[in-house]
Amino acid sequence: MRKFGVLASTIFISAILAGLYGIIHDQVTYSISTEYFTKFKYDQFGFEPTWFGGHRQTVAVIGFLATWWTGIIIGVGLGLTGLIYSDHKTMWKAIKKAIALTFCVAVLTGFIGFLYGKLHLTKTGVSWWLPENLVDKDSFIAVGSIHNFSYLGGLFGLSIGIIYLIRQNKIQRAKQILSSQTLT
């Protein structure tokens, strides 16, 4: 029964962490391209900056709303995989590391998206919709690339987190078998 508590906690914590990641992520990308938000994201979310006290606050709300749900997916994936552990304590310990690994991969992938956007896409162009009258098209493209790569990073990080949980469980079981054999 306690393992299902860990599963529920994993989903909740992952959703909150993903939302916080989105807030920080969008603060950074807003610094790179304000136009990405003022000419795209505000319209996409139907927001006016004055609703939340200004641009930075509105960007924070957008960041949270755009990512919290990915945390649910990550939490369900890691939490269900964690059920393979023999007890709730080892399950929780392994899941905490898997969550950290997942978010590190997402950050790294977002950074790769920045490099790809800045060094490649700004030179070759993109097939996505771009608003008319962009002042800084290159920064808008770089931020679009960061956003796209970050979602892929969450999925890739989830996959790596699941693999980590499975491998750690196999190692733990092998150690248990080995220790039971040496006792006999």
Over residues 117-152, the pLDDT tens digits come to 999 999 998 998 899 899 999 999 999 999 999 999
Summarised one tens digit per residue, pLDDT across range 6-19 is: 999 999 999 999 99
| pLDDT, position 125 | 87
Residues 146, 117: contact at Cβ < 8 Å? Answer: yes
26 pLDDT higher than 80: yes
Split at pLDDT 50, 70, 90, the class of 175 is confident
| pTM exceeding the 0.75 threshold for the entire prediction | yes
Q: Whole-angstrom Cα distance, residue 41 to residue 143?
A: 11
Nearest to 10, CA basis, from 2, 29, 46, 104: 2
